Structure 1
Amino acid sequence: MFLGMQAALYYQAKTVAIAAAQQGARAAGAEHGREADGVGAANDFLAEAGGDDVITATSTSANRTATTATVTVSGFSLSVIPGWKVRITQSASVPVEQVTAP
């Protein structure tokens, strides 16, 4: 029973982490987006999705090049097994939006 609950908590935290990374990557990859925009968007998503009630000790980083924006979200899933922490790291990348002349 505890193993099933642990699996559900892990899956939920992993799903929230990848969704936050995707949200952040979209913000960082916008035409005038910056790395800070990506980190902010990912952190806002994490807070709205439950914050520490879903994934704890989160850290968010972003990297934007001329062609690609990447956001990485890391943290730990909640645990019903004392002393057992499962680390989660999820990344998302998108192409940077560029306006070109016709």
Structure 2
Amino acid sequence: MTVTSICGRLRRRVLPAHGSGDRGMATIQMVLLLPAVLAVLFAGMQAALWYHARAVAIAAAQEGARAAGAQYGTAGAGTVEAAGLLADAGPGVISATSVHSSRSATTATVTVSGSSMSVIPGWTIAVHQSATVPVERITG
């Protein structure tokens, strides 16, 4: 007897018939991996929605601050401008929004707050952005 024939006999005794040891492995792998893949997919989508809401909020705050900081601007003009940009962004981008503006002799500040859209029901992510600009004035 050679070593090769002994290994062949042992392999037939120890290992089951060809392929039967892998039966059902694809199902088990899918059951274990599919929830993880879906969690990563939804987390990526949620991050993109939050980032978009944040970008819209900072754009609205900057536009409002520019309007409030204009030479003859007011805090109310900043609030109206920021709220208008939020409305133009479309429904649902940022929900439950609130816009606050203030103007002093030297600076104008607009703050936009709200909640971004969510792919997970019942979970909201807060968005809070603020912009401050110097007030325009004639010097001379």
TM range (shorter): over 0.9
Paired position in structure 1 for 2:43: 3
The runs of 4+ residues in structure 1 deviating greater than 3 Å are none
Higher RCO structure, 1 or 2 (CA under 8 Å, sep 6+): 1
Alignment of 1:99 with 2:99, yes or no, is no
Among residues 84, 92, 96, which one is paired with 2:123 in the alignment? 84
Q: Which has the higher strand share?
A: 1
Letter in 1 for 2:45: M
Question: 3-state DSSP class of the match of 1:18?
Answer: helix
Give ranges in structure 2 of 5+ residues lacking alignment.
Answer: 1-40
Larger Rg: 2
Question: 3-state DSSP class of the match of 2:138?
Answer: coil
**TM-score normalised to structure 2 length:** 0.70
**TM-score normalised to structure 1 length:** 0.96
Q: Percent identity?
A: 61
Kindly tell me the number of residue pairs found equivalent between the two proteins.
100
Paired position in structure 1 for 2:53: 13
Alignment of 1:41 with 2:81, yes or no, is yes
Letter in 1 for 2:95: T
Paired with 1:56 and 1:83, the residues of 2 have a C-alpha distance of 13
RMSD: 0.6
Question: 3-state DSSP class of the match of 1:53?
Answer: coil
Q: Which has the higher helix share?
A: 2
